Structure 1
Amino acid sequence: MSFRIRAITLDLDDTLWPFAPIGERIERAIDDWLHTHSPRTAQRFPIPAMRALRDRVHAEHPHLAHDYSRLRRMTLEQALSESGEDATLAEAAYEAFQAARNDIDYYPDSLAALHRIAARVPVAAVTNGNADLARIGIAGHFRFTLCSREHGSGKPDASIFLAACQRLGHAPGDVLHVGDHDEIDVLGAARAGLRSCWLNRADDRGQRRAWPHAGLRPDLEFDTLTALADWLDANHQSSPRSAAA
Protein backbone atom coordinates (compact mmCIF):
# COMPACT_ATOMS: atom_id res chain seq x y z
CA MET A 1 0.00 0.00 0.00
CA SER A 2 1.23 3.48 -0.86
CA PHE A 3 0.24 6.65 0.97
CA ARG A 4 2.06 9.63 2.39
CA ILE A 5 2.61 10.27 6.06
CA ARG A 6 4.08 13.35 7.73
CA ALA A 7 5.13 11.92 11.11
CA ILE A 8 5.47 8.64 12.98
CA THR A 9 4.57 7.65 16.52
CA LEU A 10 6.59 4.66 17.63
CA ASP A 11 6.09 2.07 20.35
CA LEU A 12 9.23 1.00 22.25
CA ASP A 13 9.04 -2.31 24.16
CA ASP A 14 8.92 -5.29 21.79
CA THR A 15 9.21 -2.89 18.87
CA LEU A 16 12.75 -1.51 19.19
CA TRP A 17 13.89 -4.14 21.70
CA PRO A 18 12.47 -7.32 23.25
CA PHE A 19 11.15 -6.72 26.75
CA ALA A 20 11.38 -10.26 28.17
CA PRO A 21 15.17 -10.13 28.74
CA ILE A 22 14.78 -6.72 30.37
CA GLY A 23 12.11 -8.08 32.71
CA GLU A 24 14.41 -10.90 33.79
CA ARG A 25 17.29 -8.45 34.25
CA ILE A 26 15.12 -6.22 36.42
CA GLU A 27 14.16 -9.09 38.70
CA ARG A 28 17.79 -10.15 39.17
CA ALA A 29 18.97 -6.58 39.73
CA ILE A 30 16.39 -5.88 42.42
CA ASP A 31 17.07 -9.23 44.09
CA ASP A 32 20.83 -8.55 44.09
CA TRP A 33 20.29 -5.06 45.50
CA LEU A 34 18.07 -6.38 48.29
CA HIS A 35 20.56 -9.10 49.22
CA THR A 36 23.20 -6.39 49.66
CA HIS A 37 21.17 -3.61 51.26
CA SER A 38 18.13 -5.30 52.83
CA PRO A 39 18.77 -8.99 53.45
CA ARG A 40 15.56 -9.45 55.42
CA THR A 41 13.55 -8.23 52.44
CA ALA A 42 15.51 -10.44 50.07
CA GLN A 43 14.82 -13.44 52.30
CA ARG A 44 11.10 -12.71 52.59
CA PHE A 45 10.67 -11.73 48.95
CA PRO A 46 12.78 -13.89 46.63
CA ILE A 47 12.08 -13.34 42.96
CA PRO A 48 8.83 -15.41 42.73
CA ALA A 49 7.42 -13.77 45.88
CA MET A 50 8.40 -10.29 44.66
CA ARG A 51 6.67 -11.03 41.37
CA ALA A 52 3.51 -12.07 43.25
CA LEU A 53 3.68 -8.90 45.37
CA ARG A 54 4.00 -6.78 42.25
CA ASP A 55 0.90 -8.45 40.79
CA ARG A 56 -0.99 -7.85 44.05
CA VAL A 57 -0.06 -4.16 44.11
CA HIS A 58 -1.20 -3.80 40.50
CA ALA A 59 -4.50 -5.52 41.27
CA GLU A 60 -5.10 -3.34 44.34
CA HIS A 61 -4.49 -0.08 42.44
CA PRO A 62 -6.19 -0.35 39.04
CA HIS A 63 -6.43 3.46 38.88
CA LEU A 64 -2.62 3.49 38.50
CA ALA A 65 -2.52 1.02 35.62
CA HIS A 66 -1.04 3.75 33.40
CA ASP A 67 1.82 4.47 35.84
CA TYR A 68 4.24 1.55 36.01
CA SER A 69 6.86 3.67 37.74
CA ARG A 70 4.60 4.49 40.66
CA LEU A 71 3.45 0.89 40.93
CA ARG A 72 7.07 -0.29 40.99
CA ARG A 73 7.93 2.13 43.77
CA MET A 74 4.86 1.05 45.72
CA THR A 75 5.85 -2.60 45.33
CA LEU A 76 9.32 -1.90 46.69
CA GLU A 77 7.94 0.16 49.56
CA GLN A 78 5.50 -2.63 50.42
CA ALA A 79 8.21 -5.29 50.33
CA LEU A 80 10.46 -3.28 52.62
CA SER A 81 7.63 -2.47 55.02
CA GLU A 82 6.36 -6.05 55.24
CA SER A 83 9.86 -7.28 56.04
CA GLY A 84 10.36 -4.72 58.79
CA GLU A 85 12.80 -2.54 56.87
CA ASP A 86 12.88 1.22 56.31
CA ALA A 87 10.56 1.98 53.39
CA THR A 88 12.70 4.98 52.46
CA LEU A 89 15.19 2.50 51.01
CA ALA A 90 12.71 2.10 48.15
CA GLU A 91 14.15 5.06 46.26
CA ALA A 92 17.62 3.53 46.13
CA ALA A 93 16.10 0.18 45.17
CA TYR A 94 14.17 1.95 42.43
CA GLU A 95 17.43 3.30 41.04
CA ALA A 96 18.65 -0.30 40.74
CA PHE A 97 15.45 -1.01 38.84
CA GLN A 98 16.03 1.98 36.55
CA ALA A 99 19.56 0.88 35.71
CA ALA A 100 18.30 -2.56 34.68
CA ARG A 101 15.22 -1.18 32.94
CA ASN A 102 17.34 0.95 30.65
CA ASP A 103 19.98 -1.67 29.89
CA ILE A 104 18.74 -2.42 26.38
CA ASP A 105 19.54 -5.16 23.88
CA TYR A 106 18.06 -3.97 20.59
CA TYR A 107 16.66 -6.07 17.82
CA PRO A 108 19.49 -6.32 15.26
CA ASP A 109 17.83 -3.99 12.75
CA SER A 110 16.47 -1.37 15.14
CA LEU A 111 19.14 1.30 15.46
CA ALA A 112 20.07 1.57 11.79
CA ALA A 113 16.42 1.57 10.76
CA LEU A 114 15.48 4.14 13.41
CA HIS A 115 18.24 6.42 12.13
CA ARG A 116 16.88 6.14 8.58
CA ILE A 117 13.26 6.70 9.64
CA ALA A 118 14.06 9.73 11.79
CA ALA A 119 15.95 11.25 8.85
CA ARG A 120 12.76 11.05 6.78
CA VAL A 121 9.99 12.19 9.13
CA PRO A 122 9.59 13.42 12.73
CA VAL A 123 9.32 10.52 15.18
CA ALA A 124 7.71 10.56 18.61
CA ALA A 125 7.77 7.70 21.11
CA VAL A 126 4.33 6.79 22.45
CA THR A 127 4.59 4.19 25.18
CA ASN A 128 2.82 2.67 28.15
CA GLY A 129 6.21 1.77 29.60
CA ASN A 130 8.86 3.69 31.49
CA ALA A 131 12.00 3.46 29.40
CA ASP A 132 14.21 6.56 29.61
CA LEU A 133 15.42 7.34 26.09
CA ALA A 134 17.96 9.89 27.28
CA ARG A 135 19.46 7.34 29.62
CA ILE A 136 19.42 4.69 26.91
CA GLY A 137 21.09 7.13 24.52
CA ILE A 138 18.63 7.41 21.62
CA ALA A 139 16.57 10.46 22.61
CA GLY A 140 18.14 12.40 19.73
CA HIS A 141 16.12 10.35 17.23
CA PHE A 142 12.82 11.48 18.75
CA ARG A 143 11.00 14.80 18.85
CA PHE A 144 9.56 13.79 22.22
CA THR A 145 8.37 10.86 24.31
CA LEU A 146 4.76 10.69 25.43
CA CYS A 147 4.28 8.03 28.09
CA SER A 148 1.07 6.93 29.73
CA ARG A 149 2.27 8.17 33.11
CA GLU A 150 2.69 11.71 31.77
CA HIS A 151 -0.55 11.63 29.80
CA GLY A 152 -2.74 10.08 32.50
CA SER A 153 -3.95 7.14 30.42
CA GLY A 154 -2.29 4.71 28.09
CA LYS A 155 -2.73 2.99 24.78
CA PRO A 156 -5.16 1.89 23.37
CA ASP A 157 -7.03 4.96 24.67
CA ALA A 158 -7.47 7.32 21.74
CA SER A 159 -6.50 10.39 23.74
CA ILE A 160 -2.81 9.50 24.01
CA PHE A 161 -2.52 9.06 20.24
CA LEU A 162 -4.36 12.31 19.61
CA ALA A 163 -2.20 14.17 22.12
CA ALA A 164 0.90 12.96 20.29
CA CYS A 165 -0.51 14.12 16.96
CA GLN A 166 -1.27 17.52 18.43
CA ARG A 167 2.28 17.88 19.73
CA LEU A 168 3.64 16.82 16.35
CA GLY A 169 1.43 19.41 14.68
CA HIS A 170 -0.20 17.00 12.25
CA ALA A 171 -3.69 15.62 11.74
CA PRO A 172 -4.13 12.00 12.88
CA GLY A 173 -4.61 10.82 9.29
CA ASP A 174 -1.14 12.14 8.44
CA VAL A 175 0.54 10.22 11.28
CA LEU A 176 1.57 6.55 11.21
CA HIS A 177 1.70 4.66 14.49
CA VAL A 178 4.10 1.71 14.54
CA GLY A 179 3.99 -1.01 17.16
CA ASP A 180 4.00 -4.72 17.88
CA HIS A 181 0.71 -5.15 19.74
CA ASP A 182 -2.36 -5.83 17.63
CA GLU A 183 -4.85 -4.27 20.08
CA ILE A 184 -2.87 -1.71 22.07
CA ASP A 185 -0.96 -0.33 19.10
CA VAL A 186 -2.72 -1.13 15.84
CA LEU A 187 -6.39 -1.08 16.79
CA GLY A 188 -5.88 1.75 19.27
CA ALA A 189 -4.19 3.94 16.69
CA ALA A 190 -6.63 3.09 13.92
CA ARG A 191 -9.64 3.88 16.11
CA ALA A 192 -8.06 7.24 16.93
CA GLY A 193 -7.85 8.01 13.22
CA LEU A 194 -4.12 7.41 12.69
CA ARG A 195 -2.57 5.22 10.04
CA SER A 196 -1.28 2.01 11.59
CA CYS A 197 1.69 -0.29 11.03
CA TRP A 198 1.88 -3.68 12.69
CA LEU A 199 5.49 -4.68 13.36
CA ASN A 200 5.00 -8.44 13.33
CA ARG A 201 8.43 -9.83 14.09
CA ALA A 202 9.13 -13.54 13.76
CA ASP A 203 9.37 -15.55 16.98
CA ASP A 204 12.28 -17.79 17.99
CA ARG A 205 11.03 -20.47 15.61
CA GLY A 206 10.85 -18.03 12.70
CA GLN A 207 7.05 -17.92 12.82
CA ARG A 208 4.98 -14.74 12.48
CA ARG A 209 1.51 -14.24 13.88
CA ALA A 210 -1.60 -14.17 11.75
CA TRP A 211 -3.67 -11.02 12.12
CA PRO A 212 -6.21 -12.00 14.79
CA HIS A 213 -9.07 -9.59 14.10
CA ALA A 214 -11.81 -9.56 11.52
CA GLY A 215 -12.63 -6.33 9.73
CA LEU A 216 -10.18 -3.63 10.76
CA ARG A 217 -6.63 -4.33 9.61
CA PRO A 218 -3.35 -2.41 9.80
CA ASP A 219 -2.49 -0.14 6.90
CA LEU A 220 0.97 -1.71 6.82
CA GLU A 221 2.54 -4.89 8.16
CA PHE A 222 6.27 -5.56 8.29
CA ASP A 223 8.46 -8.07 10.09
CA THR A 224 11.38 -5.69 10.62
CA LEU A 225 11.85 -1.99 11.19
CA THR A 226 14.18 -2.03 8.20
CA ALA A 227 11.23 -2.91 5.97
CA LEU A 228 9.41 0.16 7.24
CA ALA A 229 12.46 2.32 6.50
CA ASP A 230 12.54 0.86 2.99
CA TRP A 231 8.84 1.66 2.54
CA LEU A 232 9.44 5.24 3.66
CA ASP A 233 12.32 5.62 1.23
CA ALA A 234 10.15 4.36 -1.61
CA ASN A 235 7.15 6.54 -0.74
CA HIS A 236 8.83 9.76 0.38
CA GLN A 237 11.68 10.18 -2.07
CA SER A 238 10.70 13.68 -3.06
CA SER A 239 9.43 14.83 0.34
CA PRO A 240 11.67 16.84 2.63
CA ARG A 241 11.60 15.92 6.27
CA SER A 242 8.52 17.43 7.88
CA ALA A 243 9.20 20.31 10.23
CA ALA A 244 8.21 20.08 13.87
CA ALA A 245 5.34 22.20 15.00
Structure 2
Amino acid sequence: MLNISKIQAISLDLDDTLWPVWPTISRAEVVLQDWLALHAPQTAELCADPEMKKRIRAEVSQRHADKTHDLSFLRRESIRESLIRAGDAPQLADAAFEVFFAERQNVTLYGGVEQALARLSKRYPLVGLSNGNADVFRTAAGPFFKASLSAQSFGVAKPDMRIFHAAAALLNVPAESVLHLGDDAHADVMGAINAGMQTAWVNTQGHDWPHDSAQPLTVGHLADLCDHLLA
Protein backbone atom coordinates (compact mmCIF):
# COMPACT_ATOMS: atom_id res chain seq x y z
CA MET A 1 0.00 0.00 0.00
CA LEU A 2 1.01 3.61 -0.43
CA ASN A 3 2.59 5.77 2.24
CA ILE A 4 0.44 8.78 1.46
CA SER A 5 2.15 10.96 4.05
CA LYS A 6 5.38 10.90 2.00
CA ILE A 7 3.82 11.85 -1.35
CA GLN A 8 4.52 15.44 -2.39
CA ALA A 9 4.03 15.12 -6.17
CA ILE A 10 2.77 12.74 -8.85
CA SER A 11 4.34 11.79 -12.17
CA LEU A 12 2.11 10.22 -14.78
CA ASP A 13 2.67 8.26 -17.95
CA LEU A 14 0.45 9.50 -20.80
CA ASP A 15 -0.31 6.93 -23.54
CA ASP A 16 -2.61 4.13 -22.36
CA THR A 17 -2.69 5.69 -18.90
CA LEU A 18 -4.66 8.87 -19.62
CA TRP A 19 -5.93 7.92 -23.09
CA PRO A 20 -5.86 4.92 -25.44
CA VAL A 21 -2.94 5.49 -27.79
CA TRP A 22 -3.59 3.22 -30.75
CA PRO A 23 -6.90 4.78 -31.88
CA THR A 24 -5.05 8.11 -31.88
CA ILE A 25 -2.14 6.75 -33.90
CA SER A 26 -4.54 5.10 -36.35
CA ARG A 27 -6.36 8.38 -36.96
CA ALA A 28 -3.05 10.21 -37.41
CA GLU A 29 -1.95 7.58 -39.95
CA VAL A 30 -5.13 8.14 -41.95
CA VAL A 31 -4.67 11.92 -41.91
CA LEU A 32 -1.06 11.51 -43.04
CA GLN A 33 -2.04 9.12 -45.83
CA ASP A 34 -4.69 11.58 -47.06
CA TRP A 35 -2.09 14.37 -47.07
CA LEU A 36 0.37 12.24 -49.00
CA ALA A 37 -2.31 11.39 -51.56
CA LEU A 38 -2.57 15.12 -52.34
CA HIS A 39 1.09 16.15 -52.09
CA ALA A 40 3.09 12.98 -52.77
CA PRO A 41 0.81 10.49 -54.55
CA GLN A 42 3.58 8.00 -55.36
CA THR A 43 4.50 7.84 -51.68
CA ALA A 44 0.84 7.43 -50.74
CA GLU A 45 0.67 4.44 -53.08
CA LEU A 46 3.84 2.97 -51.56
CA CYS A 47 2.57 3.48 -48.01
CA ALA A 48 -0.78 1.90 -48.80
CA ASP A 49 1.06 -1.40 -48.35
CA PRO A 50 1.26 -1.95 -44.56
CA GLU A 51 4.08 -4.48 -44.92
CA MET A 52 6.17 -1.98 -46.86
CA LYS A 53 5.57 0.68 -44.20
CA LYS A 54 6.60 -1.77 -41.50
CA ARG A 55 9.74 -2.75 -43.41
CA ILE A 56 10.80 0.86 -43.94
CA ARG A 57 10.22 1.70 -40.28
CA ALA A 58 12.29 -1.31 -39.20
CA GLU A 59 15.15 -0.37 -41.52
CA VAL A 60 15.13 3.24 -40.32
CA SER A 61 15.07 2.13 -36.69
CA GLN A 62 18.02 -0.20 -37.31
CA ARG A 63 19.96 2.52 -39.12
CA HIS A 64 19.40 4.95 -36.26
CA ALA A 65 19.70 2.58 -33.29
CA ASP A 66 20.85 5.48 -31.11
CA LYS A 67 17.47 7.19 -31.61
CA THR A 68 15.14 4.51 -30.25
CA HIS A 69 13.98 6.96 -27.56
CA ASP A 70 13.00 9.59 -30.16
CA LEU A 71 9.78 8.47 -31.82
CA SER A 72 9.31 11.77 -33.65
CA PHE A 73 12.72 11.45 -35.30
CA LEU A 74 12.02 7.86 -36.36
CA ARG A 75 8.60 8.76 -37.73
CA ARG A 76 9.95 11.74 -39.70
CA GLU A 77 12.85 9.75 -41.15
CA SER A 78 10.53 6.88 -42.07
CA ILE A 79 8.39 9.35 -44.00
CA ARG A 80 11.52 10.76 -45.66
CA GLU A 81 12.71 7.29 -46.64
CA SER A 82 9.28 6.51 -48.09
CA LEU A 83 9.36 9.69 -50.15
CA ILE A 84 12.81 8.84 -51.49
CA ARG A 85 11.86 5.28 -52.43
CA ALA A 86 8.70 6.45 -54.17
CA GLY A 87 10.50 9.16 -56.13
CA ASP A 88 8.80 12.11 -54.43
CA ALA A 89 10.57 15.12 -52.92
CA PRO A 90 12.23 14.14 -49.61
CA GLN A 91 11.97 17.71 -48.32
CA LEU A 92 8.23 17.10 -47.92
CA ALA A 93 9.02 14.91 -44.89
CA ASP A 94 8.93 17.78 -42.39
CA ALA A 95 5.53 19.06 -43.52
CA ALA A 96 4.15 15.54 -43.67
CA PHE A 97 5.36 14.79 -40.18
CA GLU A 98 3.73 17.96 -38.81
CA VAL A 99 0.40 16.82 -40.28
CA PHE A 100 0.78 13.48 -38.51
CA PHE A 101 2.02 15.06 -35.28
CA ALA A 102 -0.86 17.53 -35.02
CA GLU A 103 -3.40 14.73 -35.26
CA ARG A 104 -1.35 12.61 -32.86
CA GLN A 105 -2.20 15.19 -30.17
CA ASN A 106 -5.92 14.81 -30.82
CA VAL A 107 -6.37 12.27 -28.03
CA THR A 108 -9.57 11.17 -26.36
CA LEU A 109 -9.15 10.87 -22.59
CA TYR A 110 -10.50 7.79 -20.88
CA GLY A 111 -13.82 8.53 -19.24
CA GLY A 112 -13.38 10.21 -15.86
CA VAL A 113 -9.70 11.02 -16.36
CA GLU A 114 -10.23 14.77 -16.66
CA GLN A 115 -12.15 14.82 -13.39
CA ALA A 116 -9.52 12.63 -11.70
CA LEU A 117 -6.70 14.92 -12.83
CA ALA A 118 -8.63 17.94 -11.57
CA ARG A 119 -8.95 16.34 -8.13
CA LEU A 120 -5.34 15.16 -7.95
CA SER A 121 -3.90 18.47 -9.16
CA LYS A 122 -5.61 20.37 -6.35
CA ARG A 123 -3.44 18.50 -3.83
CA TYR A 124 -0.32 17.48 -5.78
CA PRO A 125 1.74 19.05 -8.58
CA LEU A 126 1.61 16.76 -11.62
CA VAL A 127 4.37 16.06 -14.16
CA GLY A 128 3.96 14.05 -17.34
CA LEU A 129 6.59 11.38 -17.94
CA SER A 130 6.35 9.61 -21.29
CA ASN A 131 8.37 7.46 -23.65
CA GLY A 132 6.02 8.59 -26.42
CA ASN A 133 5.87 11.88 -28.30
CA ALA A 134 2.52 13.20 -27.14
CA ASP A 135 2.54 16.80 -25.89
CA VAL A 136 0.28 16.76 -22.86
CA PHE A 137 -0.13 20.53 -23.05
CA ARG A 138 -1.84 20.15 -26.45
CA THR A 139 -4.46 17.84 -24.93
CA ALA A 140 -7.42 18.29 -22.60
CA ALA A 141 -5.21 17.01 -19.77
CA GLY A 142 -2.75 19.87 -20.15
CA PRO A 143 -4.24 22.42 -17.73
CA PHE A 144 -3.68 20.07 -14.78
CA PHE A 145 0.07 19.60 -15.31
CA LYS A 146 2.91 21.71 -13.95
CA ALA A 147 5.53 20.16 -16.24
CA SER A 148 6.19 17.34 -18.66
CA LEU A 149 9.23 15.32 -19.67
CA SER A 150 9.64 12.89 -22.58
CA ALA A 151 12.28 10.38 -23.53
CA GLN A 152 12.65 12.35 -26.75
CA SER A 153 13.58 15.58 -24.97
CA PHE A 154 15.63 14.01 -22.17
CA GLY A 155 17.58 11.50 -24.24
CA VAL A 156 16.80 8.25 -22.41
CA ALA A 157 13.56 6.34 -21.90
CA LYS A 158 11.84 4.68 -18.98
CA PRO A 159 12.73 2.44 -17.15
CA ASP A 160 16.08 4.28 -16.93
CA MET A 161 16.04 5.80 -13.45
CA ARG A 162 17.62 9.01 -14.69
CA ILE A 163 14.45 10.15 -16.41
CA PHE A 164 12.42 9.53 -13.24
CA HIS A 165 14.89 11.57 -11.21
CA ALA A 166 14.76 14.34 -13.81
CA ALA A 167 10.95 14.43 -13.57
CA ALA A 168 11.18 14.80 -9.80
CA ALA A 169 13.72 17.59 -10.22
CA LEU A 170 11.29 19.50 -12.45
CA LEU A 171 8.98 19.74 -9.43
CA ASN A 172 11.82 20.39 -6.98
CA VAL A 173 11.05 17.33 -4.88
CA PRO A 174 13.18 14.25 -4.10
CA ALA A 175 12.38 11.05 -5.99
CA GLU A 176 11.21 9.30 -2.82
CA SER A 177 8.48 11.95 -2.47
CA VAL A 178 7.01 11.21 -5.91
CA LEU A 179 4.25 8.74 -6.73
CA HIS A 180 4.54 7.50 -10.31
CA LEU A 181 1.48 6.20 -12.15
CA GLY A 182 1.55 4.30 -15.41
CA ASP A 183 0.24 1.36 -17.42
CA ASP A 184 3.51 -0.38 -18.28
CA ALA A 185 4.48 -2.90 -15.59
CA HIS A 186 8.14 -2.79 -16.61
CA ALA A 187 8.86 0.73 -17.86
CA ASP A 188 6.57 2.52 -15.41
CA VAL A 189 6.18 0.38 -12.30
CA MET A 190 9.54 -1.33 -12.04
CA GLY A 191 11.31 1.73 -13.39
CA ALA A 192 9.78 3.93 -10.70
CA ILE A 193 10.54 1.43 -7.94
CA ASN A 194 14.18 1.22 -9.03
CA ALA A 195 14.31 5.03 -9.04
CA GLY A 196 13.19 5.08 -5.41
CA MET A 197 9.64 6.25 -6.01
CA GLN A 198 6.34 4.91 -4.83
CA THR A 199 4.17 3.63 -7.63
CA ALA A 200 0.77 2.32 -8.59
CA TRP A 201 -0.12 0.31 -11.67
CA VAL A 202 -2.90 1.85 -13.76
CA ASN A 203 -3.86 -1.37 -15.52
CA THR A 204 -6.39 -0.11 -18.05
CA GLN A 205 -6.01 -3.18 -20.27
CA GLY A 206 -6.54 -5.84 -17.59
CA HIS A 207 -3.12 -7.46 -17.99
CA ASP A 208 -1.74 -10.03 -15.57
CA TRP A 209 1.15 -8.87 -13.39
CA PRO A 210 4.23 -10.15 -15.28
CA HIS A 211 6.91 -10.00 -12.58
CA ASP A 212 7.91 -12.30 -9.72
CA SER A 213 7.96 -9.36 -7.31
CA ALA A 214 4.87 -8.45 -5.33
CA GLN A 215 2.20 -6.70 -7.36
CA PRO A 216 1.83 -3.05 -6.32
CA LEU A 217 -1.41 -1.23 -5.73
CA THR A 218 -3.32 -1.76 -8.97
CA VAL A 219 -6.29 0.17 -10.32
CA GLY A 220 -8.18 -0.19 -13.56
CA HIS A 221 -8.70 3.54 -13.96
CA LEU A 222 -7.03 6.69 -12.74
CA ALA A 223 -10.23 7.73 -11.01
CA ASP A 224 -10.00 4.67 -8.78
CA LEU A 225 -6.72 5.95 -7.41
CA CYS A 226 -8.36 9.11 -6.14
CA ASP A 227 -10.21 6.98 -3.60
CA HIS A 228 -6.86 5.83 -2.18
CA LEU A 229 -5.15 9.23 -2.19
CA LEU A 230 -7.92 11.68 -1.47
CA ALA A 231 -10.21 9.78 0.90
Q: Is the TM value for this pair above 0.5?
A: yes
2:226 maps to what in 1?
229
With over 3 angstroms needed to count, the CA separation of the structure-2 counterparts of 1:232 and 1:47, relative to structure 1, is farther
Residue 37 of structure 2 contacts residue 44 of structure 2 at CA under 8 Å; is this kept in 1? yes
Residue 77 of structure 1 contacts residue 88 of structure 1 at CA under 8 Å; is this kept in 2? yes
What is the CA deviation profile of residues 204-236 of structure 1, one whole-angstrom value per residue up to 9, with x for unaligned ones? Answer: xxxx22211112532x211111111121112xx
What is the CA deviation profile of residues 136-182 of structure 1, one whole-angstrom value per residue up to 9, with x for unaligned ones? Answer: 24322111110001111010101000111122111211100000000
SS in 2 for 1:215: coil
Residue 10 of structure 1 contacts residue 125 of structure 1 at CA under 8 Å; is this kept in 2? yes
Residue 38 (1) aligns with residue 40 (2): yes
Displacement after TM superposition at 1:112 (Å): 0.9
Residue 125 of structure 1 contacts residue 144 of structure 1 at CA under 8 Å; is this kept in 2? yes
Residue 187 of structure 1 contacts residue 216 of structure 1 at CA under 8 Å; is this kept in 2? no
1:61 maps to what in 2?
64
2:180 maps to what in 1?
177
Which runs of 5 or more residues in structure 2 are unaligned?
A: none
1:1-245 correspondence runs (5 A):
1-4=1-4, 5-48=7-50, 49-201=52-204, 203=205, 208-218=206-216, 220-234=217-231
Q: Which amino acid aligns with 1:53?
A: I
Distance (Å, rounded) in 1 between the aligned partners of 2:87 and 2:93: 13
1:237 maps to what in 2?
none
Displacement after TM superposition at 1:124 (Å): 0.1
With over 3 angstroms needed to count, the CA separation of the structure-2 counterparts of 1:125 and 1:168, relative to structure 1, is same
Distance (Å, rounded) in 1 between the aligned partners of 2:53 and 2:168: 38
Distance (Å, rounded) in 2 between the aligned partners of 1:182 and 1:122: 23
- After TM superposition, the runs of 4+ consecutive aligned structure 1 residues lying more than 6 A away are none
Which deviates further from its counterpart, 220-229 or 178-187?
Answer: 220-229
Distance (Å, rounded) in 2 between the aligned partners of 1:107 and 1:47: 31
Which deviates further from its counterpart, 163-172 or 52-61?
Answer: 52-61
Displacement after TM superposition at 1:2 (Å): 4.3
How high is the sequence identity, in percent, across the aligned residues?
A: 39
Displacement after TM superposition at 1:47 (Å): 4.8
Displacement after TM superposition at 1:53 (Å): 1.4
Residue 31 of structure 1 contacts residue 47 of structure 1 at CA under 8 Å; is this kept in 2? no
Which deviates further from its counterpart, 131-140 or 81-90?
Answer: 131-140
Which runs of 5 or more residues in structure 1 are unaligned?
A: 235-245
The two structures, once aligned, show a CA RMSD in angstroms of 1.4
SS in 2 for 1:154: coil
Displacement after TM superposition at 1:91 (Å): 1.3
SS in 2 for 1:85: coil
